[in-house]
Structure 1
Amino acid sequence: MAGEWAKTRIQDIAKRTATGPFGSAISAKNFVGSGVPVIRGSNLSQSVSTRLDDSGLIFDSKEKAREFSRSEVRQGDLVFTCWGTIDQVGLIDSRAKYDRYIVSNKQMLLTPDETKADSLFLYYYFASPETRAKILNQGIGSSVPGFNLGQLRSFEVSLPPLPIQKAIAAILGSLDDKIDLNRRMNATLEAMARALFQSWFVDFDPVRAKRDGRQPPGLDSDTAALFPDSFQDAEIGRIPTGWDVVSLDALASIRGGKQLPTEDCLDFGEFTVFGANGIMGYTKDFTHDGFVIAFGRVGAYCGSIHWSLKGAWINNNASAVVPMQWPVFVLQTMLNIDFSSMRTGSAQPFIPNSSLASAKVVRPSPPIAEAFCNIVEPFRRQQADNDHHSRTLSTLRDTLLPKLLSGEIRVSEAERHV
């Protein structure tokens, strides 16, 4: 058990440790549109499920990247932040979009000796709440926390034999694999919903096909018959005949959220609490029962959109948008709006409810909106089921993680829960 596991310094199980390029050696003036991606702090996460965030990457040219070979990471390497959010960690594994990266000047890397340590085990070790707290306690600096390469090299880990490391990593990894599968399924469903909305209500593909004397592709005859075969002028341009342009508040009621007492925002609960940046937590009560859209209206993420099928608590930095009819059509309509022009304020961006309410949108004939909802609503229900499943898996992983790393439970016992 854990008491029998060796206390080992990182430098004793590492093939290589290094920092990113020094100072201005890596800078914006050298970034290009494509090439070798650079990992910055924003590409790492404090979430165990996110081993590497490939969104928002910047790139160095292949020629420039050759100068930084000592700062290159590949599959099996771990990445740490040495200045800033020092309790986050990343892992380059099979999920990574690229086969190699350069770490930035505020990151550092570890290549474990695979005969002594398993990369995924080490990832979970450093992503655990206990290790993150220990790193924060060892942080240097005042205004900007630091955790330097020397500290990483001398950092002690409680390391079981390699077979046990791999077994622990496999249990936790299997749960994260299921979570990742749900995420990818939801991304596919989202893309399908967006593509259908784009075709029907932005590009007007079925109307154009009928105007040209063609059968709308992908539609059965009954659905195709719902669409007109001509266009009319409207204030936002030409739209299908018989459709109209309305303000968003003609399709939904829009109200500001209500502040939830801090002590009532929990890690677990029946109803999701939505704030300006999405999920804040969970609670036993709700401000809205049934389908509701949470619209972030304050802060850097104002304009963000989240939703719930079964009700939620909409907090005071968000607005509740409740469709009067055609819920998933209204949701997709909002997801298609560019809210950037509605922002006011600089230090604290803000979108007034009045601006949201007055947004101009296309309203199709009721049978077409209903046909869209009949197709897309099962997508949304599947997404909600996948999210619920992922939360259950995350809870199980987070329960097992410290117990496995401390040796409180054996691998054989944990396997019965997975």
Structure 2
Amino acid sequence: MSSEWRDGKLGEFIELKRGYDLPQAKREAGPFPLISSSGRSDQHSSPMVRGPGVVTGRYGTIGQVFYVEEDFWPLNTTLYVRDFKGNDPRFISYFLQTVDFLAFSDKAAVPGINRNHLHEAKVQLAPVREQRKIAEFLGMLDQRITLLRETNATLEAIAQALFKSWFVDFDPVRAKRDGRAPEGMDEATAALFPDSFEDSELGEVPRGWLPCRLDSLLELAYGKALKAESRRPGPVPVYGSGGVTGWHDTALVAEPSIVVGRKGTVGSLYWESRPFFPIDTVFYVRTSLPMSYCFELLKTLGLQGMNTDAAVPGINRENVYRLLVPSVPDRVIAAFDAVVSSIRRRIDHNAGHAETLAALRDTLLPRLISGQLRLPEAAEEAQV
């Protein structure tokens, strides 16, 4: 390693400071992000810190690090870098991701970070010109990941908009009733829709699409308990109500399905195309219908507001089953799936690419930050 790398205490390279309290009642609408220990949580009319800045959790969520380009307000559950002492802010954000914050956490009921103890941590930093190169390289990987995720968000919105047009607003039916050709579809697809409405318990619905109970369309199957200590390393994602919580070597569900948060994050929805393991805080969907249709349908049902009044919020499956939805003909659902399944394939491809890049970044980051790996070798590994 180059002799230009510097050894010292963290406090010699940066100064961390506690964030600032801002009660909900005093917040005013504005463009400046409020950063909590778990990231961006709100916005305010004025900032407390000039950007770019780096923030990490002091209480609550510990160990996450956030880089903020614009001026911002770090809340009092955080520590932020008040003085970079000439070091590159973006590099410092990556550097702090390699720090074991829990080693500097107290043992109270609510763990917290003591900044004075953190300042005493022994660290080694690259020279500033190397910092900038490392930050640029890692930033390039992050930008690629962000672009893929933003693209997927756009694709998800397209699928959701199509569902709303066909099955919530009934635009093709309205067009035919008014003597117009439905927009954005060929004649064969347009012919699948009726040209009039009828009254029902759901209000006005397309003729023949009378309401049916949700359980006539799909089953919400229970996940299975799988404690962290029982999981074996493998490629199978393990789903809780907050999303992927770990990995295992054996799947409970082999085919694509939808995960529905049952306890904890009630009503959360996740599409999974790979074999996966849903644990006992979630349901997963079984159905003979296309999953693409069921996924968009479930988004419209307000499941997040269906938690029961219990110590641990949860969904009563029977309450969900009693929900009424239009009985859409299979041929119309198949036409929807023919369009959306191609969108879903693109989403899956992008998600897989983003996951690969994130794994690569997470592997390279500590080696670059520590100097164990130099940029030319890292670029070769990343094939960039």
TM normalised by structure 1 equals 0.84
CA RMSD of aligned residues (A): 2.4
Q: Relative to 1, partners in 2 of residues 1:394 and 1:361: Cα closer, same or farther, differing over 3 Å?
A: same
Q: Distance in 1 between matches of 2:9 and 2:365?
A: 21
3-state DSSP class of the match of 1:310? coil
Match of 2:88 among 118, 131, 134: 118
Deviation at 1:337, TM superposition (A): 1.1
Task: Give the letter for the 2:37 counterpart.
Answer: G
1:295 aligns with 2:260: yes
Match 1:72 to one of 49, 72, 85: 49
Question: Would you identify which runs of 4 or more consecutive aligned residues in structure 1 move more than 6 Å?
Answer: none
- Give me the whole-angstrom Cα distance separating, in 2, the residues matched to 1:253 and 1:139: 44
Correspondence 1:76-155 to 2 at 5 A = 76-93=52-69, 99-111=70-82, 113=84, 116-128=86-98, 131=99, 133=100, 135-140=101-106, 142-151=108-117, 153=119, 155=121
Cα distance, 1:106 vs structure 2: 2.7
Cα offsets for 1:64-101 (capped at 9, x unmatched): x3xxx6x3231x211233333342221113xxxxx322
Instruction: Find the counterpart in structure 1 of residue 42 from structure 2.
Output: 57
Is 1:405–2:369 an aligned residue pair?
A: yes
- Residue 194 of structure 1 deviates from its aligned partner by 0.8
Residue identity opposite 1:73 in structure 2:
R
Matched-pair contact (CA < 8 Å) for 1:266–1:281: no
Letter in 2 for 1:408: Q
Structure 1 spans left out of the alignment, 5+ residues: 44-52, 94-98
Question: 2:29 is matched with which residue: 22, 33, 57?
Answer: 33
Asked if the contact 2:175–2:181 (Cα under 8 Å) also holds between the matched residues in 1, the reply is yes
Distance 2:369 2:59 in 1: 26
Check the 8 A contact 1:79/1:90 in 2, yes or no: yes
8 Å Cα contact 2:234/2:250 also seen in 1 = no
Equivalent residues of 2:223, 2:283 under 8 A apart: yes
Cα distance, 1:328 vs. partner? 0.6
Tell me which residue corresponds to 1:19: 18
Letter in 1 for 2:5: W
| Cα distance in 2 between the residues matched to 1:4 and 1:35 | 41
1:334 aligns with 2:305: no
1:305 aligns with 2:281: no
Q: How far is the alpha carbon of 1:338 from its aligned partner?
A: 0.3
8 Å CA contact retained: 1:295, 1:320: yes
Shift, 1:141, TM fit: 6.3
1:41 partner amino acid: S
CA distance in 2, matches of 1:210, 1:32: 47
Amino acid at match of 2:92: L
Deviations along 1:355-407, one digit per CA (max 9) or x if unpaired, are 23222222212221111101111111111122222222122112112222222
TM-score normalised per structure 2? 0.91
Fraction of identical pairs, as percent: 34
Provide the C-alpha distance between the structure 1 equivalents of 2:117 and 2:58, rounded to a whole number of angstroms: 10
Query: How far apart are the structure 2 equivalents of 1:136 and 1:261?
Result: 22
Q: Which amino acid aligns with 1:39?
A: I
3-state DSSP class of the match of 1:37?
A: strand
Is 1:244 paired with 2:243?
no
Q: CA deviation at 1:154?
A: 5.0
Give how far 1:32 is off: 2.5
Instruction: Give 2:251's aligned amino acid.
Output: F
1:206 & 1:58 partners in 2: Cα distance?
A: 40
Residue in structure 2 matched with residue 96 of structure 1 by the alignment: none
Q: Which one-letter code corresponds to 1:241 in the other structure?
A: R
The alignment covers a number of residue pairs equal to 382
The structure 2 residue matched to 1:189, chosen from 150, 155, 167, is 155
Cα gap change, 1:92 to 1:127, in 2 (>3 Å): same
Q: CA deviation at 1:246?
A: 1.6
Question: Superposition pairs for residues 212-223 of structure 1, below 5 Å?
Answer: 212-223=178-189
Aligned to 1:157: 123
> What is the rounded CA distance, in whole Å, between the counterparts of 2:60 and 2:304 in structure 1?
29
Unaligned 5+ segments in structure 2 are none
Residues 146 and 288 from structure 1, CA distance in 2 versus in 1: closer, same or farther, beyond 3 angstroms? closer
